[in-house]
Amino acid sequence: MCVVKLDFHYIFQDVNLKSLIIWLIISFTRAVFVCILSGLVPFAVGSETAGSMTYPAARCGVTAIRPTFGMVGRTGVMSLSESLDKLGPFCRSATDCALVLDAIRGKDPDDISSKNINLEDPFSIDISKLTVGYLEDAEMEVVNVLASKGVNVIPFKLDYTVDSVQGILNFTMDVDTLSHFDSWQRTGQDDVYEAQDQWPLELRRARMVPAVDYLQTQRARGKLIREIRESFTVDAFTGNATDWERVCMGNLVGMPVVVVPTGFKSIKNPPSGNIRRRTTITTGIYAPPQHDHVALALAIAYQSVTDHHKQRPPIDDLGPDDSFPNHPKANYPPRRWHP
Ligand SMILES: *[C@@H]1O[C@H](CO)[C@@H](O)[C@H](O)[C@H]1NC(C)=O
Ligand SMILES: *[C@@H]1O[C@H](CO)[C@@H](O)[C@H](O)[C@H]1NC(C)=O
């Protein structure tokens, strides 16, 4: 099994063979998605602290489940935040996600946050007994397919009064991460890190967070979790999987989400010519914590009558106009806070 810390900043945007090969060569972690998407490997296991599974799965159009917090043990995986880090499978379909999740879940004696969380058989769930909410930004095709399979679908909104969800995520993740990179920062190794505007800056900011504010943040997080539990009045809901507020909320609460590909759209500003490059469209199916099987059952039902998840980039049929420009070189600003 391969366990990687995913880097979602540089995932390729378009489905194109040459880009697949370029990315395969320059990055192992990104290559993992490319391998799944292009059908080379059946699955991979990724990790998410805040978005590192949902964003690349959405970008690349692979099906993934970010499971309930604590469902999969994390021994041996680089830790950013004990209360946020989760592992989960990326696969070709929700069916495969169910099989892989079932194989990797369970109490890990070396990870005290892990638990034996039951995964009921998603294949034996009667989805016609489920009520699924659809958010304002849901993909209506998914909603209509589920309705046609007998699911009771209703418009839905998750209500919570905690208004600083993104701030809670920042404080929690930054302080927790710095506690793992304390000596890295104290010994000045962060000064030679290439992307000075990213981790070094974020972790220097974390050094300034007072303990009182960190504790208040955790209280607000507890309130958020209670409010979400109360307002989760449906069996599952569907909506955009990459909305940042929702990514923060889902991770702070530890709620499972299945990312499902739902089609393709044209890329922005395509080069002239008859190019076939497209970008994936995806959506999320969310269930309450410990109800991963419900989200999986719905994704399996959707994929049983649609074939968006079966699309593969053209492997042996590159058209003359399918060229792919070199990836632009990143321009990192100079370091900021230290002399
Ligand atoms: C959270 O951190 C990011 C990255 O540094 C920053 O862009 C964003 O403004 C912060 N958000 C809040 C609400 O603090
Ligand atoms: C989901 O939300 C993000 C951020 O608001 C947006 O960029 C994206 O286009 C949305 N995706 C869909 C499928 O609506």
Residue 10 predicted with pLDDT over 90:
no
Residue 243 CA to ligand 2 centre (angstroms): 6
User: Which pLDDT belongs to residue 272?
Assistant: 73
Give the torsion sign (CA, 242, 245, 251, 254): negative
Residue 323 predicted with pLDDT over 50:
yes
Q: Give percent above pLDDT 70 in the chain.
A: 81
Residue 118 CA to ligand 2 centre (angstroms): 32
Q: In the predicted model, what is the mean pLDDT of residues 296-305?
A: 98
The more confident residue out of 254 and 324 is 254
Is ligand 1 within 6 A of the CB of residue 114? Answer: no
User: Which pLDDT belongs to residue 40?
Assistant: 74
Q: Which architecture does CATH list for 17-156+233-310?
A: Alpha-Beta Complex (3.90)
Judging by DSSP bridges, how do beta strands 86-91 and 131-134 pair with one another? unpaired
CB under 8 Å to 265, separation ≥6 — which residues?
278, 279, 281
User: Which pLDDT belongs to residue 42?
Assistant: 86
As a whole number of angstroms, the distance between CA 142 and CA 92 comes to 18
Whole-number average pLDDT of the chain: 86
Of 8, 166, 198, 245, the residue with max ligand 1 atoms within 8 A of its CB, to mutate for a pocket test, comes to 166
User: Which pLDDT belongs to residue 237?
Assistant: 98
Judging by DSSP bridges, how do beta strands 257-266 and 63-66 pair with one another? antiparallel
Domain ranges (residues) in the chain: 17-156+233-310
CB under 8 Å to 288, separation ≥6 — which residues?
229, 232, 236, 255, 294
Weakest-pLDDT range from 28-32, 69-73, 252-256: 28-32
What is the tens place of the pLDDT at every residue in 210-238?
A: 999 999 999 999 999 999 999 999 999 99
What is the tens place of the pLDDT at every residue in 198-210?
A: 899 999 999 999 9
Query: DSSP assignment of 70-114, as one string?
Result: TSB--TTSPPS-TTT-EEEEEESSHHHHHHHHHHHBS--TT-TT-
What is the tens place of the pLDDT at every residue in 68-114?
A: 999 999 999 999 999 999 999 999 999 999 999 999 999 999 999 99
As a whole number of angstroms, the distance between CA 59 and CA 11 comes to 7
- Which ligand has the minimum distance to the alpha carbon of residue 139? 2
Residue 164 predicted with pLDDT over 60:
yes
Q: In the predicted model, what is the mean pLDDT of residues 142-151?
A: 98
**Tokens 């998407």 correspond to what residue?**
37
Residue 47 predicted with pLDDT over 60:
yes
What is the tens place of the pLDDT at every residue in 175-189?
A: 999 999 999 999 999
As a whole number of angstroms, the distance between CA 211 and CA 206 comes to 11
Residue 215's φ and ψ, nearest 5 degrees, are -65, -40
Contact between 132 and 298 (Cβ < 8 Å): yes
- Which ligand has the minimum distance to the alpha carbon of residue 279? 2
Residue nearest to atom 13 of ligand 1 (CA): 167
Residue 241 predicted with pLDDT over 50:
yes
User: Which pLDDT belongs to residue 313?
Assistant: 74
CB under 8 Å to 72, separation ≥6 — which residues?
45, 86, 87, 88, 101, 104, 105, 106, 108, 114
